[in-house]
Amino acid sequence: MDDTNTKGQGARRGRQLGPQMRFVLERLAASPDATFQEVNDVASLAGIAVTYPLYARAKARLGLTKKREVPEPGTLLPDGERTEVEASSDVPPASRTAPTPRVQATGSKASALVDFESLVASIRELEADRDRMRSAIEQIAAILEGLPKA
């Protein structure tokens, strides 16, 4: 087996394959249907640590992985249903939807009102702080404008 790395970052640097990758590639070349657990068991007997991502990269490198087939919009799925979302649909994927707001389990409308009132009070305090700081900055700017330029 050729030990030269022809893919990935290591290929750009001209590095050799590591002993773990060489071991997994040899095992998978000898037995393409070997599971991760089988390869890992044999590797541990040989004193080599094998991780699942390494195993997956070796399978991909040997072309042993199956490509995932994505059904076209409107095609019939295995369970007999049609795909509902069209390719040009404006419906965002589920992973991009806004998270649902968490509701506190206080259960009382009175406590929600108190929470809202405290929020409003905090906002008013922040607005007052903002106004004081703006005034201070304007005073500093006026003083600086009155100074002679160097």
39-74: pLDDT as tens digits: 999 999 999 999 999 999 999 899 888 776 666 666
- Checking if the pLDDT of 85 tops 70, the result is no
Please provide the size of the chain in residues: 150
pLDDT on residue 89 = 47
pLDDT at 149 over 70: yes
Q: Which of 22-26, 70-74, 88-92, 99-103 is the most confident on average? A: 22-26
DSSP helix/strand/coil, 16: strand
Residue type, 33: D
Which stretch of DSSP H or E encloses residue 142? helix 109-146
Closest CA to 87 of 75, 100, 105, 101: 75
* Euclidean distance between CA atoms 29 and 95, whole angstroms: 38
Could you tell me which residue, 33 or 89, shows the higher pLDDT? Answer: 33
Q: Are 55 and 30 in contact (CB under 8 A)?
A: no
